Amino acid sequence: MRFMMIAKFEKEGSLTPTPALMAAMGKFTQDLAQTGALIETGGLQPTARGAQLKLSGGKVTVTDGPFTEAKEVIGGYAIVEFKSKQEAIELGKRFLQLHADILGPSCEMLSEIREMYEPGQIPGC
């Protein structure tokens, strides 16, 4: 099963990656890649560099960033493959603990884990 793991922060800029965190994340990602479970990973630029598109009433509107009204900001993602959701949850716990170990107890973030549809599995397609 493939899962998307999404790293979220309460507000943009609330987590500043330190050199120690970047080094630890590099090792974490490399170790995960060596297991064969890692498909893809990436970090996202600030919302100021993005845009939001909204469909409402049959009309599409575009709003340029930053998105200060956002309650949560997605900072990065990983696509992984495991045999179970529990394995993905365990990886998510390790990911969050890595941040806590390096940045301390003031670090607050969320990780959302979502199983992905397999090709041909999407309802109605």
Concatenated DSSP letters of 56-102: ETTEEEEEESP-TT-SSEEEEEEEEE-SSHHHHHHHHHHHHHHHHHH
Q: Would you say 96 and 66 are in contact if contact means Cβ atoms under 8 Å apart? A: no
The enclosing H or E element of 23 equals: helix 19-35
Q: Inform me whether the pLDDT recorded for 124 exceeds 80.
A: no
User: Is pLDDT larger for residue 42 or for residue 121?
Assistant: 42
Residue where the block lists tokens 């394995």: 87
CATH number attached to the domain at 2-115: 3.30.70.1060
Phi and psi at 98, nearest 5°, equal -55, -45
- pLDDT confidence bin for 125, thresholds 50/70/90: low
The pLDDT value given to residue 68: 72
pTM: 0.85
The pLDDT value given to residue 9: 86
The pLDDT value given to residue 56: 95
Q: Inform me whether the pLDDT recorded for 123 exceeds 90.
A: no
Peptide bond before residue 66 is cis, with ω within 30 degrees of 0 = yes
Q: Would you say 52 and 62 are in contact if contact means Cβ atoms under 8 Å apart? A: yes
Q: Which pLDDT tens digit goes with each residue over 51-97?
A: 999 999 999 999 998 887 777 889 999 999 999 999 999 999 999 99
Q: Which pLDDT tens digit goes with each residue over 19-56?
A: 999 999 999 999 999 999 999 999 998 888 999 999 99
**Given CA atoms 21, 103, 35, 81 in this order, what sign does their dihedral have?**
negative
Q: At how many degrees (to 10) do helices 85-103 and 19-35 cross? A: 160
User: Is pLDDT larger for residue 10 or for residue 37?
Assistant: 37
Cα angle 42, 48, 50 (rounded to 5 degrees) comes to: 60
